[in-house]
Amino acid sequence: MRCPNQLFLTNQYFGLALPNTWPYYSTTLKLTTATRRISKISNSWPPGSGHKCLVVYDREDRLGERWMEFQGINNWDGLLDPLDSDLREEILRYGEFIEAAYDCFDFDTSSATYATCRYPKGTMLMHCGLGQSGYKVVKSLHATCNVQMPRWIERIPNLMLPQSSWIGYVAVCDDVDEIARLGRRDIVIAYRGTATCSEWLENLRATLTCVPGDMTPYENNEPMVQSGFLSMYTSKIEGHSSLQDTISEEITSILNTYSNESLSITITGHSLGAALAILTAYDITTKFNNLPMVTVLSFGGPRVGNKRFRCQLDKNGIKVLRIVNSDDPITRVPGFVIDDMASRGDAMMARLPSWLEKYMEDTQWVYAEVGKELKLSSKDLISKLNVATCHDLKTYLHLVNNLVRERKEIYKQC
């Protein structure tokens, strides 16, 4: 039986939805927290891999005073280089909520409960080692794939193609001490990455499509997003509401319940989940007036929409922190980015006339990066690099934990 505080790096954490034939990775990262101010972080990477074990003694907890800074009120200016130690702990904390979404998902294709949540809502976080987090799960979330399956797929024996799958959850901080520590009552929406073949096929629908009318503000500026991500967010089948409708109903309930409190909404996800997190933030800030601060923490997320989509995100006041491993190719797809090429000094792009740039954007392949980027690199910390390892959520959390620390933080190597 697995120890609850030991998280194994298996195919279920890759976010790539590789088949179960993918090799089992025995690398683990153990995390125990004695208090919120002193934490021991160790790892059991293979001997000789060059990975170091750190015992970190954090400075006095000032989260309650600075929480809006860490949620991006100033776009994380001055906090990313070097990475502020308190912000680091917040990033790792929200990463644990995504890990819980992976851990709850039933990856066993031979099981009758494949693609569902393995645990009841009331004990979900406890089973994932977050029983003392101060949060309770208030809603399970399902996403529906609406992609047309190619006929040849039906000939593959024992292939499971669930149309609707458990994708994550909504949790509300309900512990008095934790609310005081955080400085507000926090609502978390956490999404896992790709896990089924149906979701893989949706990922491949990479052309841009217009955002539907109910997600478009009055001054319609034709924002466009990736077709597959939008389909998963808006599609519904009998017995399962769309992810969009479920989120809308839950946000309405939460706002009514805690109308007189200081709130924050933090939407976090990895891979496909990061894309859904951005769509969720865009949707709720378009539909709801007077929302509390909405922040997205994206781990290894692909591109989601075009320039007009990015502009509307900014107008809606959404704060997005994209945590990107420079060695992870998933963060550089789909499509291509014209303004990014120009900013790098690409000579060809610098010479493009405006009419040609407009034409390229109309091809439905020109995307735009959103938010603020925290760039990581796995080259110096991981000896054997491959796509799965570079994209794995566990790798992201390991890299965040090992970024150059502020001088005032005391640490020792063991």
Which of 242, 271, 298, 378 does the annotation list as catalytic? 271
d(CA 330, CA 179): 35
Q: Name the H helices within 213-353.
A: 227-234, 243-257, 272-287, 307-315, 338-343, 347-350
Predicted confidence at residue 409, as pLDDT, reads 43
Output the tens digit of pLDDT for each of the chain's 414 residues: 334 443 334 344 444 444 333 333 333 343 433 334 334 344 444 444 444 444 343 445 679 999 999 999 999 999 999 999 999 999 999 999 999 999 999 999 999 999 999 999 999 999 999 999 999 999 999 999 987 766 666 666 556 678 899 999 999 999 999 999 999 999 999 999 999 989 999 999 999 999 998 888 766 678 999 999 999 999 999 888 999 999 999 999 999 999 999 999 999 999 999 999 999 999 999 999 989 999 999 999 999 999 999 999 999 999 999 999 999 999 999 987 876 544 444 444 445 566 566 656 666 779 999 999 999 998 867 767 788 999 999 999 999 999 865 434 433 333
Q: Does residue 362 have an active-site annotation?
A: no
First to last CA, the chain: 28
Predicted confidence at residue 1, as pLDDT, reads 39
Predicted confidence at residue 107, as pLDDT, reads 96
Long-range contacts of 45-53 (CB under 8 A, 24+ apart): 49/382, 49/383, 50/381, 50/383, 51/381, 51/382, 51/398, 52/402, 52/413, 53/413, 53/414
DSSP 8-class letter at 155: G
3-state secondary structure of 80: strand
Which residues partner with 40 through β-bridges? 32, 55
DSSP 8-class letter at 123: G
Which of 84, 86, 327, 328 does the annotation list as catalytic? 328
Q: In what order do the strands lie in the sheet with 135-144?
A: 135-144, 164-173, 185-191, 263-270, 293-299, 319-325, 372-376
Token pair 């494949």: residue: 114
Q: Does residue 271 have an active-site annotation?
A: yes
Predicted confidence at residue 378, as pLDDT, reads 87
pTM of this structure: 0.82
Predicted confidence at residue 330, as pLDDT, reads 96
Q: Does residue 328 have an active-site annotation?
A: yes
Neighbours of 221 (CB within 10 A): 13
d(CA 179, CA 263): 10
Which of 51, 142, 270, 391 does the annotation list as catalytic? 391
Spatial neighbors of 107 by CB under 8 A, at least 6 apart, are 11, 12, 20, 114, 195
Token pair 């951005």: residue: 278
d(CA 391, CA 301): 9
Spatial neighbors of 358 by CB under 8 A, at least 6 apart, are none
Phi and psi for 40 in degrees, rounded to 5? -110, 125
Spatial neighbors of 25 by CB under 8 A, at least 6 apart, are 8, 9, 10, 11
Phi and psi for 165 in degrees, rounded to 5? -135, 150
